[in-house]
Structure 1
Amino acid sequence: MPDNPATYLTLLQSGQWFSHLPPALRAALLDKARLLRLEPGQRLFCRGDPPCGLYAVLEGMMRVGAVGRDGKEALLTLVEAPYWFGEISLFDGQPRTHDAYAEGPTRLLQVPQAALLELLEREPGYWRDFALLMSQKLRLTFIALEQMSLLPAAQRLAQRLLLMAEGYGEIGPRQTLHLAQEQLALMLGLSRQTTNQILKELQVRGVVRLTYGEIEIADLAGLRQAAEAG
């Protein structure tokens, strides 16, 4: 595909956040953006790195999380097209809070930090649009924390699959999740064995179909029922 950010306009407009921006802000972001290509496993940034701007996934997937001193990984999320991420450091100017690596061959749009701050200096009203991007993720974080504390593993897993199937409210419903069982286990803080057992039970009930590296949602209503009832 041509290396021109504007060629990705249709893809980006399929996302709720970008599609609801003022036309002038959409144009400004594309005008200041540049394209990046990452190889599988390549680092975009690490925890503690200085702010480097705002990103949108155009192709592929980004893995966002952290690795503890004991080598144990905490996987927060897998970021797919047309999601935007990296906005926290835009607000506070502080170092990156987590690591971001390409899960496979990935293409990103980057709007550099300096260009964003210059834009916001000229048009301070746009701060609200970026705040909406961050507040949506903050809302999902609070939901995940509540689920971790209060819900049994099976219901928690069903609710996470439902959120992903419904595009986290950013894109329309999708039937196939490009998600390995190990990744799902890491996101939920569950063992691989427990995750596999719950998924197999959902498969027996006809709610999901399991294939290598993917989870197909066969019965969205059934998944919603599992998420609500446990």
Structure 2
Amino acid sequence: MTEDKIPDPRLLFGKTMWARMLAPEHLRKVEAEVTERMVPAGAYVWHKGDIVDQWMGVAEGFLKMSSVSPEGKIVTFSCMLPGGWFGEGSLLKTEARKYDVVALRDTRIACMPMSTFNWLLDNSIPFNRFLLSQLNERLGFFISLVEYDRMLDTDTRVARCLAAMFNPYLNPGGSMQLQISQEEIGYISSVSRQRANQALQVLEKKKLLSVDYGGITILDLDGLRRFPDEGAK
């Protein structure tokens, strides 16, 4: 898969939280140096163990971050929606990738070279502040997944895991229509596909979401976050 210049950087960076924080001269450098690549559905953006040389963002499409256990079980950690950027941890630690990233549908990826990423760290206080906030949000997200797995019933775990995918820092531009299979929802929530299907039926009856062919539509994001509180109906 080849990388090309972004046809109109304004369409990408106008919707990107950290880019809106940059000084004009810093943004111009980023626009000149970030490239894009197309990844077809089912293909890998990167493999676990790949060498780190870029920070990446989702311009269009849908990705999942996952790994395979020694027993061969696929463990999905998170999904990335348009507007989300990822991989900063590996760049900061200059280590090999710790997980696979796979496109769940045809996806357009923005690729920032490591040299540009490090230049922004050295020259932009707003960029540093954004990264601190994003790393904090990502840590909170993964801690919450452990809490959901250990403390919540299955229906609530599915509701909270779906709601967590719409974090304004991690996935700022996500549509309320989500093309995701019930099997993938099961991976994210640590339940079987059949049990995920049952939970989705419960949440649909509560009018929190609707189950569509090949995905779901979120109808009440705040209700998903608060489910099963009395106010989430």
TM range (shorter): 0.7 to 0.9
Q: Distance in 2 between matches of 1:33 and 1:181?
A: 34
Structure 2: unaligned runs, 5 residues or longer: none
Deviation at 1:26, TM superposition (A): 3.0
Q: What is the match of residue 80 of structure 1?
A: 81
Q: What is the match of residue 96 of structure 1?
A: 97
Q: Distance in 2 between matches of 1:149 and 1:28?
A: 45
Deviation at 1:221, TM superposition (A): 5.4
Contact 1:57 1:81 in 2 (8 A): yes
Structure 1: unaligned runs, 5 residues or longer: none
Aligned-residue CA RMSD in angstroms? 2.5
* Amino acid in structure 2 at the alignment position of 1:195: A
Q: Distance in 1 between matches of 2:16 and 2:161?
A: 19
- Whether 2:174 is the aligned partner of 1:163: answer no
Q: Distance in 1 between matches of 2:174 and 2:105?
A: 23
Change (3 A) 1:211 1:153: same
Alignment of 1:24-43 (within 5 A): 24-43=25-44
Contact 2:5 2:34 in 1 (8 A): no
In the superposition, the TM-score normalised over structure 2's length comes to 0.84
Moved over 6 A (4+): none
Q: What is the match of residue 68 of structure 1?
A: 69
Contact 2:67 2:99 in 1 (8 A): yes
Q: Distance in 2 between matches of 1:204 and 1:129?
A: 38
Percent of residue pairs bearing the same amino acid type: 25
Higher helix share: 1
Q: Distance in 1 between matches of 2:216 and 2:177?
A: 6
* Amino acid in structure 2 at the alignment position of 1:81: P
Change (3 A) 1:150 1:15: farther
* Amino acid in structure 2 at the alignment position of 1:178: Q
Contact 1:159 1:227 in 2 (8 A): no
Aligned to 2:8, the other structure's residue is in SS state helix
Equivalenced residue count is 225
Deviation at 1:88, TM superposition (A): 0.8
Q: Distance in 1 between matches of 2:47 and 2:102?
A: 8
Contact 2:81 2:173 in 1 (8 A): no
Q: Distance in 2 between matches of 1:49 and 1:57?
A: 19
Contact 1:17 1:133 in 2 (8 A): no
Deviations 1:29-61 (A, max 9, x none): 222211111122222211121112101111112
Q: Distance in 2 between matches of 1:222 and 1:55?
A: 31
Q: Distance in 2 between matches of 1:101 and 1:206?
A: 31
Identify which range, 219-228 or 51-60, moves more after superposition.
219-228
* Amino acid in structure 2 at the alignment position of 1:110: C
Deviation at 1:185, TM superposition (A): 0.5
